[in-house]
Structure 1
């Protein structure tokens, strides 16, 4: 007997959930994060606030669901850029993924700002949609660096050179991420990631506008500096201007 698909009731519920998240995104883009409230979304949909609680338990759950959507969209863009390069060219794949991340962030500044500082006040559950989607996004970069390490190990600190606390924290992180790299290699990856992601966050949040009107060459300079740390060749990007 063929498996039955979702019931009409389930399809209607899923469609309403998708509409709620779409309305929340519209409010975010047009009016900012503070405008994304249960009552505001309900008004846009012609519903009452209490009616919306049949779909989301509260503001935190709504924010988490919308943030998960953004992470999934960003992950799909990054994976597509990565996979446009040959499977064995890990350097090109990694650079393509980094550039795709910036491209999406610049085109969707409200969404990226929300991802970076999503206003969730309750404790984040490791199995929540937001955390799972965020982990999938992070894994795109982490797994590519792990493949790069496997193919051509890059320079890392000598064993015992890292502060004991740093080494232990990275060991826990590596184990939880399922990545097969020594903690010293994970340290190099995270050092590069913090520099790159931090620069992008500052750009999207307009924290560098006092000095720069065009941060694309600054981002490329960051990639150029990161490349030798990971033992890969830097390929110049095609200028967007």
Structure 2
């Protein structure tokens, strides 16, 4: 059944509110993204906005979900383009990682919002929240390629892991639904942490005192990751 006119108008207003929040973020910074400021942007009162979002936290998480979805879509598009061209797992994985960096440096405010903003414990304890569902879809872009790789060419993994690490990774595997042994997830998350840490430092201008161009450093990181996963490193297309 098609949505009613009332439902369509509500969805349009929700989208307008989230877009207003993004505009405030990108033009004036995180501190400017308040309920009252957003309400002014869309031409309503602060109390009226509560008819659409229960509070600031819910609005923040909805906007975060939008950013995750946009980033994930860009990564999937890059990956799928390489697949359509007959690219290897290595080519697809590297393309997705490069697309992630491309989005991050093009949208530094949004990237910072996703990856450096405080996440309330009420959100982390809600696996089915919009933010966490979108975040898991984003993670799957990376993990699905790793799972494909593991099926055909398993990479070296540690013989044993401390119980505390194993238990946490097992919980993560259950949440994401990936079909990988704990040891393989440990290796891939270690690669991911390094990659993500480098991106955060670049986007937050923490490397400016050393490098004016971080792309070759990022490529070295990708080369190291490929080596850990037993893949051939393929340079970016010219």
Bucket of the pairwise TM-score, normalised by the shorter protein: over 0.9
* 1:62 pairs with 2:63: no
Q: Is the 8 A contact 1:63 1:120 kept in 2?
A: no
Deviation by residue 1:49-89 (Cα, 9 ceiling, x = unmatched): 00111111100011000000000000100000001122772
* 1:130 pairs with 2:131: yes
Alignment of 1:193-212 (within 5 A): 193-212=192-211
In structure 2, the residue matched to 1:108 is: 107
In structure 2, the residue matched to 1:53 is: 50
More helix by share: 2
How far apart are 1:119 and its partner, in Å? Answer: 4.2
Taking structure 2 as the reference length, the TM-score comes to 0.94
How far apart are 1:166 and its partner, in Å? Answer: 1.4
Deviation by residue 1:190-239 (Cα, 9 ceiling, x = unmatched): 11000001110111111111111110000000001111100111001136
Aligned equivalents of 1:41 and 1:186: distance in 2? 40
Aligned equivalents of 1:179 and 1:131: distance in 2? 16
In structure 2, the residue matched to 1:156 is: 157
Point out where structure 2 has 5 or more consecutive residues left out of the alignment.
Answer: none
What SS does the corresponding residue of 1:85 show, helix, strand or coil? helix
Aligned equivalents of 1:177 and 1:88: distance in 2? 26
CA distance change for structure 1 residues 83 and 181 in 2, over 3 Å: closer, same or farther?
same
Which stretches of structure 1, 4 residues or longer, exceed 6 Å deviation after superposition?
Answer: none
Aligned equivalents of 1:143 and 1:231: distance in 2? 16
What SS does the corresponding residue of 2:82 show, helix, strand or coil? coil
In structure 2, the residue matched to 1:44 is: 41
How far apart are 1:171 and its partner, in Å? Answer: 2.1
Deviation by residue 1:11-37 (Cα, 9 ceiling, x = unmatched): 111111100001100000000000000
In structure 1, the residue matched to 2:212 is: 213
In structure 2, the residue matched to 1:144 is: 145
Q: Is the 8 A contact 1:75 1:136 kept in 2?
A: yes
In structure 2, the residue matched to 1:99 is: 98
RMSD, matched Cα: 1.4
Aligned equivalents of 2:59 and 2:177: distance in 1? 29
